[in-house]
Amino acid sequence: MTDQAFLVVGADSLVGGGLVAALHRRGHTTYASTRRRDTLNNKRVYLDFESDEPFRAPEGVNYAFLVAAATNYDRCEKDPLARVINVELIPRVVASLLQQGLFVTFISTNSVFGGDRPWPHEDDLHAPGIAYARQKSEGEDAVRAHAERLGAKDRLNIVRLTKIMGPETSPLPAWFAAWKRGEPVEPFTDLVFAPISVQFVGEALATIGEKRIPGNLHLSAAANVNYVEFASALARRLGVDPTLIRPSTAVDKGVNIPFKPRFSGLGMARTTSLGGIQPQRLEQLIDDLIAAQGD
Ligand SMILES: NC(=O)c1ccc[n+]([C@@H]2O[C@H](COP(=O)([O-])OP(=O)(O)OC[C@H]3O[C@@H](n4cnc5c(N)ncnc54)[C@H](OP(=O)(O)O)[C@@H]3O)[C@@H](O)[C@H]2O)c1
């Protein structure tokens, strides 16, 4: 479809950046929302969830991706405003965009499933543990309720993501720097994730937007890996000496990790069948990280 114009709410986020790049690459008219007033222009519009100003989507936009959120785990635990943003203010913006006739994607997270079940299906029940996950789960319920009330369920999807990695995502800058100095890194064996690249998530969301698929969707890696397996794959690809990886554990290092799932990967059966999108393999993530590092 060439007559679609997209709005990315939260374009300065990690996910938003990848999505804007993918939409541009595909030649779509793309607007971005930001809170950074000094960066506004004819394609970057102002939106702060905490402001009372009603938000109108730019003329001609018929699809919005609601990417922005209060994402910091610690803030979600301690700052009552984070819950208000995630559970009330963001769903209110979704409702307004649906009322304006747009199709809306609400971005959510694998953490709503709690991490005790492998490969949850798109329509499985939630079991959130930490405050951030509870807020995203309640946010999902709120946007679904708004869509139901407005008779707009066929113009809403909820896309849950696993962990997104870009070259600047911790701990990568520290690992790259250590390996450059010939020093070892100490990744954790007791921390499991299902990492996907910024490029993969951007392209997959753009495909979902072009196809306007309603309902629940998942974007995930094809395998759960621990940080030693991830570091080893990265080192192999970069030609880094494997002895520069010294396996460790978060427990031994006394590092408190708030979200420590047994299983991080999401089942993508519905997403693959309706969207033709396959889970990302670890080698593809590594290729994307190396390509982005050179950008
Ligand atoms: N990163 C991941 O690994 C991951 C995994 C699963 C799901 N997700 C989901 O993906 C989405 C994006 O995550 P991310 O990690 O890319 O985000 P991020 O880099 O932490 O950025 C968060 C964005 O939200 C914006 N924001 C926060 N409060 C706002 C407010 N009151 N009004 C307007 N904008 C506000 C921020 O604006 P400023 O730039 O102005 O601060 C920023 O652009 C979130 O919904 C998150 O739950 C992320």
Over the stretch 131-183, which tens digit does the pLDDT of each residue have?
Answer: 999 999 999 999 999 999 999 999 999 999 999 999 999 999 999 999 999 99
Q: How do the domains of the chain map onto residue ranges? A: 5-166+195-222+264-281
Closest Cα to atom 21, ligand 1: which residue? 13
CATH class of 5-166+195-222+264-281: alpha beta
Of all atoms in ligand 1, which is nearest to the CA of residue 48?
32
Query: Over 60: is that where the pLDDT of 262 sits?
Result: yes
Give 267 Cα–ligand 1 centroid separation in angstroms.
23
How far apart are the C-alpha atoms of 113 and 91, rounded to whole Å?
20
Pick the residue whose CA is nearest to atom 39 on ligand 1.
12
In 214-267, where does DSSP find H-type helix? 227-238, 250-253
Residue-wise pLDDT for 27-52, tens only, equals 999 999 999 999 999 999 999 999 98
Buried (b) or exposed (e) across 162-182, using 16+ Cβ within 10 A?
bbbbbbeeeebeebbebbeee
Calpha distance 248→263 (Å, rounded): 19
Backbone angles phi, psi at 126, to 5 degrees: -85, 155
The model's pTM? 0.97
Pocket of ligand 1 (CB under 6 A): 10, 12-15, 35-36, 47-50, 67-71, 85, 107, 109, 136, 161, 163-164
What's the pLDDT tens digit per position in 217-244? 999 999 999 999 999 999 999 999 999 9
